[in-house]
């Protein structure tokens, strides 16, 4: 791991942004992003089209922001492959797999699968020396995973469960975990979150466009007036904010610490669905959230 990689450069990040704040903020933004995507699809957006344009918009917003701060996104021999591989593993491929599988296995099963990246990230990080096996780590994983599974099981599962689509959906958490590890190991020397975030998002948008062309899907937008345009703009802003914090959190906490954002997103997403969409309050909401918070507390105390 180079001197600027997560876990080493972590402690030199902005003092005002603790790893806990970044974890809660990034996870909450992911939960908001999930809600906005659901609202967009209800309003007439095609899932792949909304994913592409909101990702491109978020990347462009960050690109403009970095230029205003005097940071230039210079494509280098290290940055370009990092952005493409990180974009593929961390954003484009998991989203494409999940969006493709939802009609066949249901959103509830996708939520169930996405409870596993923290456990898989920890399982990969320990053998390669990026983290240490400890009782606190195991207990934290058990609590957080248990809470996330409770939340996921409160969502309805699809009536049919074809093996191909099930396997496809179950591949997403493993790919996310590999992305968490890759971003730490390959972090370009001297690169800041403000440079890596737009690079990854723009690369992800390009990969989504290639995938869309490969399957013959149009990326034409609906009329960007009223709700459709507002949702796209809101999602672009949320994605931009999410991925700046995402890379900063990886810098502060490493891949295992970052991986917990899925648990936070699950709790926030469920709470927002109750408040905004009027979904029934599941009886397991409070105990599930308590288990997730206990898991985060235990993991924060594990020896590294």
pLDDT reading at 7 higher than 60: no
- Round the average pLDDT of the chain to a whole number and report it: 83
pLDDT (0 to 100) of residue 262: 82
Assess contact for 26 and 242: CB atoms under 8 A.
yes
Q: Band the pLDDT of 29: cuts 50, 70, 90.
A: very high
Alpha carbon dihedral 23, 177, 181, 196, in 10-degree steps, equals: -60
* Residue 142 C-alpha from the chain's centroid: 20
In this prediction, residue 181 carries a pLDDT of 95
Give the other-Cβ count within 10 Å of 285's Cβ: 16
Give the residue with greater pLDDT, 206 vs 138.
206
List pLDDT tens digits, range 131-169. 888 888 888 888 888 887 777 666 665 555 567 887 888
- Give the Å distances, CA to CA, from 259 to 7, 28, 218, 247, 287: 14, 13, 33, 12, 21
Pairwise CA distance, residues 300 & 304, whole Å = 10
Q: What are phi and psi of 13, to 5 degrees?
A: -70, 175
Q: Mean pLDDT over residues 79-87, rounded?
A: 95
- The rounded distance, in Å, linking the Cα atoms of 223 and 88 is 29
Instruction: Band the pLDDT of 222: cuts 50, 70, 90.
Output: confident
Checking if the pLDDT of 264 tops 70, the result is yes
Please check the confidence at residue 15 and state whether its pLDDT lies above 50.
no
Which pLDDT belongs to residue 13? Answer: 43
pLDDT at 10 over 50: no
Among 23-32, 44-53, 80-89, 288-297, the minimum mean pLDDT is found in 288-297
* Dihedral sign of CA atoms 172, 178, 182, 184 in order: positive
């Amino acid at each position: 791991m180079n001197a600027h990689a997560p876990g080493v450069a972590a402690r030199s990040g902005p003092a005002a942004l603790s790893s806990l704040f970044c974890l809660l903020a990034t996870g909450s933004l992911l939960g908001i992003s999930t809600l906005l995507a659901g609202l967009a699809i209800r309003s007439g957006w095609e899932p792949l089209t909304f994913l592409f344009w909101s990702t491109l918009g978020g990347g462009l917003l960050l690109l403009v922001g970095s230029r205003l701060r005097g940071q230039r996104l210079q494509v280098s021999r290290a940055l370009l492959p990092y952005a493409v591989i990180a974009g593929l593993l961390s954003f484009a491929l998991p989203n494409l797999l999940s969006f493709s599988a939802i009609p066949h296995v249901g959103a509830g099963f996708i939520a169930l699968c996405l409870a596993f990246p923290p456990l898989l990230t920890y399982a990969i990080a320990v053998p390669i020396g990026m983290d240490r096996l400890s009782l606190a780590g195991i207990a934290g994983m058990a609590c957080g995973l248990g809470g996330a599974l409770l939340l996921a099981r409160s969502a309805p599962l699809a009536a049919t469960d074809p093996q191909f689509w099930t396997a496809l959906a179950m591949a997403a958490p493993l790919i996310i975990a590999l992305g968490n590890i890759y971003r730490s190991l390959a972090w370009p020397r001297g690169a800041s979150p403000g440079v890596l975030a737009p690079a990854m998002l723009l690369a992800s948008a390009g990969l989504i466009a290639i995938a869309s062309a490969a399957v013959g899907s149009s990326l034409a937008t609906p009329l960007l007036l009223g709700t459709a345009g507002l949702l796209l703009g809101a999602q672009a802003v949320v994605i931009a904010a999410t991925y700046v914090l995402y890379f900063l959190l990886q810098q502060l906490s490493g891949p295992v610490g970052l991986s917990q954002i899925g648990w936070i997103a699950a709790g926030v997403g469920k709470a927002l669905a109750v408040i905004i969409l009027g979904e029934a309050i599941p009886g397991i909401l409070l105990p599930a959230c308590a288990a997730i918070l206990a898991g985060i507390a235990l993991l924060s105390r594990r020896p590294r």
